[in-house]
Amino acid sequence: MKRPIDKQMLLVSAGVAVGLILIVMGLQSATTGRDAQNIPAAIEEMSPGPGDQVVQQAQISVDFTEGYEASLIIDGITLETTRLDELSAEGNAKLEPGAQVEIPPTAIFDPGNYIISFTPQEGAPIDVFSQGKHTAQVIYWKMVDGREKARSFTWEFEAN
């Protein structure tokens, strides 16, 4: 003996199935993380990220994919950039292994790792991040193309 189809149960099941399909489609089309923040593919990591909260002495660093060079502008102040390879070569040709090199209070670019960083400190254009929002901009270019083909990425972070 065959049971008749319960129309109400069929409608409820169809409604649940459609709901589940819509949820899955919504999750797949959601934009999160790097995509939501529009971080360029040339940037592997950055700290602080867009919208992050940091302490007033926090280091700003941007790690690029291989082959990029960069400069930093923070709160409208263009920071002088010192390359680590030039720093160790300048007048320090006779460095002994393990010798200390004095790092100037500028943005530092490490061409071996493609990282630019800046730490607020005494003697630097920014000695500490005041409490509130700050705007950072990184201008970056492929080393083979030169600065003439530079692009930029701007974001905000907040200091506590």
Rounded to 10 degrees, the C-alpha dihedral 9/14/17/18 comes to -140
Query: In this structure, are strands 132-142 and 107-110 parallel, antiparallel, or unpaired?
Result: unpaired
pLDDT in tens, 41-91: 999 999 999 999 999 999 999 999 999 999 999 999 999 999 988 876 555
Residue with token string 């974001």: 155
Query: Which is higher by pLDDT, 54 or 94?
Result: 54
User: What order do you get walking across the sheet with 132-142 strand by strand?
Assistant: 53-54, 151-159, 132-142, 68-74, 77-78
- Tell me the two tokens of residue 68: 């990029």
User: What is the pTM assigned to this prediction?
Assistant: 0.72
pLDDT in tens, 107-143: 999 999 999 999 999 999 999 999 999 999 999 999 9
Confidence of residue 2 (pLDDT cuts 50, 70, 90): confident
pLDDT of residue 90: 56
- Domains of the chain (ranges, CATH numbers): 40-159 (2.60.40.1220)
Residues forming a β-bridge with 45: 63
